[in-house]
Structure 1
Amino acid sequence: MKLLIIEDDEAFARTLSRRLAKHGFDCHIEHNEEQVIATLESVEPEYVLLDMKLQTLSGLHFIKQIKAFNNSIKLVLLTGFASIATAVEAVKLGADDYLTKPADTLLIAQTLLGKENIEQEELPKERMSAERLEWEHIQQVLKANEGNVSETARQLNMHRRTLQRKLQKKPVQK
């Protein structure tokens, strides 16, 4: 089961690769958006996990090209900036599914393989709490804004002081 992970965050891509390998995937990573099609042709994957926000391009840019290469590739778009409009656009362009970050590895594997391919016992007993999800989302937006608290607060539609208080708290477990 060859999987091509197209993700510009190298550390995140390596982590995904290690974790998805435990679910039986033969993972290949491409960080450079200029090399995506060349890597696609050399790897010939059955599955593609495509990040929405790459270095300079949107992952939406590659969906038609990937599907034109091989329409049977199972393509899942992964994004930290979810919206109904981008989800609809991704599906219209040919994506098979759409997941928002943070998505746990089991959910990604289930989405790539189809839920019937994962044993019920493998499902996590606990889901991430709403507080933890909020903390993870704040961290992602802060990282995207290169640590700019004011811009992050604007994007999250949150008062700057409220965001600073949330950032001072330790991350909530699960």
Structure 2
Amino acid sequence: MEEFFGSYKNQILATVITLAVIFFLKYLLDKTIRKIGSISNIVEARTILITKYVSFLFFLISLGIIAFIWGINFQEVGLVFSSIFAVIGVALFASWSILSNVTAGVILFFSFPFKIGDRVKILDKDIEAEEPYLIEDIKAFHISLRKENGELLVYPNNLLMQKAVTLVYETEETPDGSEET
């Protein structure tokens, strides 16, 4: 065991430093995302979803850095990864709309001017309703909109970014934390 630590002292130290830096950066970014979420009155579930995306990204980055530190032969591993990425690429190409909806969900988290409880009208020729919709929930793939009569419309995030959306009624928070229109 001592021989292992003696032989790989530099790699172990570099790995520990890398993990410490990654965890620190992840902590700072999570804190920043939560602050943006609270300042923008974004629902906690959406904030948690974005922090999960960031955690996964940091995991992939740290995996790559640690593989570089330990000197993994990328030519041998490259064949395995290229095969995996080819299969994933075909799957993502076949379901490109899912990827675009997730990307749109992340963009909407940071820049969507409406929040849950607002009433909006989507100017889309495929939606025949003239009355506004109540935003019930905003998920990673779609937004849930409800009419006055109870009809539910599940609208994809990528289309929400492509269509004009008008705010009809904005939800206002009262001093006691409840919402009113």
* Pairwise same-fold verdict (TM > 0.5): no
Q: Please state which structure has a larger fraction of its residues in helix.
A: 2
TM-score using structure 1 length: 0.26
TM-score using structure 2 length: 0.26
Q: Which has the higher contact order (CA 8 A, sep 6+)?
A: 2
